[in-house]
Amino acid sequence: NSVVGVGQSPEAIRNREGQLSPFEWYAEMRREAPVHFDEQREMWDVFRYEDVKHVLKDHDAFTANRAFGADESAGSGDDMPMLQTMITTDPPEHDRLRGFVNDRFQPGAVREYQPQVEEMTKNLLNDLPDEGTFDFVDEFSIPLPVIVIAELLGIPDDRRDQFREWSNALVARPEDDTSEEIQRVQREQERAQKEMGRYFATLLAERQGGNGDDLITLAANTEALNRGERIGFCMLLLLAGNITTTNLLTNAIWAFEAHGVTDAVRTGEVDRQLAIEEVLRYRSPIQSLKRIATKDVELNNQQVQAGDVVTLWLGAANRDPEIFDAPETFRPERHPNRHIAFGTGVHFCLGAHLARMEADIALNYLLEHFERLDADLSELQPLNFLHGLESLPCEVRRTA
């Protein structure tokens, strides 16, 4: 998907084991070939913390614009206009596309949503069985972020189900790797994207001149954006904010259970917020980002040329022994924790504070709601979209 930027995985981690645990490969590459050109994918891979950070901060030499160097006449037909959003735009244009909404995602503004997020979390928990087994991914970690974004954007209640269907279609994965199946999923994604784009366009038009405090009203009335950019903004929030947060929630339970700290987090013996930061470091939902070199540059003794694509392995940077003590160990009390799971530089995640608050509330209420929660880690299937799991069966008993 172009907005969240997943492409073909490197050969070394294309299988199930590699998807679940790319960390040995990262360690080897950090040591042996920290800036490496992959002939097969025809792009660079960057593994060390300082190098990844350097590229993300140097937005002059490394553009976030995916179309950089491409034929400008290609793909710009009116039938499928490319939506321009902040995440693929460099400064100074970037500042215009982000500036109008930046305040709304600062810690103080995000805290105002706290009661609503708590309410939504409780409702979701009340729909779960009091005792027995359910799939944590399908029943909790997928729906919660969608409901939260729908609330922020101001999607009317009677369209929430439709909204959820679109959100799911946008991140649907092929069931197998036959070309029919891949095409089917692509067609579904295009359909959902079109329908949703039209729906956002209608809401944006309706809310022009309105005074609601939802994000669609904000986008509809800012002079900073044109019509296409307003739609692009709404789509971006959805794509950038959902599956990432889903994976943070899933990976938290996965890591807590794998390391036997679920009860310690429940009782407060382990600080929940520090534990969430450690999940972000240890199993970063976004393992890699891409940039394109705008000029010939040297990077850790390698000659990168203008037009070269560079993959930045956040997941490898977050386990760099130069920065982290015992980087391969999950230490829920780790502090300080300078992980870059939310990126760095001008594109630092707009939703970082929201995601942190959401995870904090979700895990707090979840563990309070269930006095017993046992995840079945015996047959893990990686989600082939970012770093997470396809499902996570949990056996639970509600707190008496």
CB of 74 vs ligand HEM, minimal distance in Å: 22
Per CB under 6 A, which of residues 46..85 are in contact with ligand HEM? Answer: 64
Distances (CA, A) of 384 to 8, 44, 164, 200, 381: 10, 21, 20, 28, 9
245 binds ligand HEM (CB under 6 A): yes
- Residue 320's CB is within 10 A of a number of other CB atoms, namely 21
CB of 123 vs ligand HEM, minimal distance in Å: 19
- Region binding ligand HEM by CB under 6 A among candidate stretches 110-118, 158-166, 202-210, 336-344: 336-344
Query: Closest CB to ligand HEM among 193 and 396?
Result: 193
Query: Closest CB to ligand HEM among 249 and 261?
Result: 249
Which one of residues 59, 230, 319, 347 is an interface residue with ligand HEM (CB under 6 A)? 347
Query: Closest CB to ligand HEM among 275 and 396?
Result: 275
29 binds ligand HEM (CB under 6 A): no
Query: Closest CB to ligand HEM among 266 and 347?
Result: 347
Query: Tokens 């070394």 correspond to what residue?
Result: 12
343 binds ligand HEM (CB under 6 A): yes
- Region binding ligand HEM by CB under 6 A among candidate stretches 33-41, 107-115, 163-171, 241-249: 241-249
Cα-Cα-Cα-Cα torsion 90, 92, 95, 96, nearest 10 degrees, comes to: -110
Which one of residues 10, 241, 327, 388 is an interface residue with ligand HEM (CB under 6 A)? 241
- Point out which residues bind ligand HEM (CB under 6 A): 64, 86-87, 98, 149, 236-237, 240-241, 244-245, 248, 285-286, 289, 341-343, 347, 349-351, 354-355
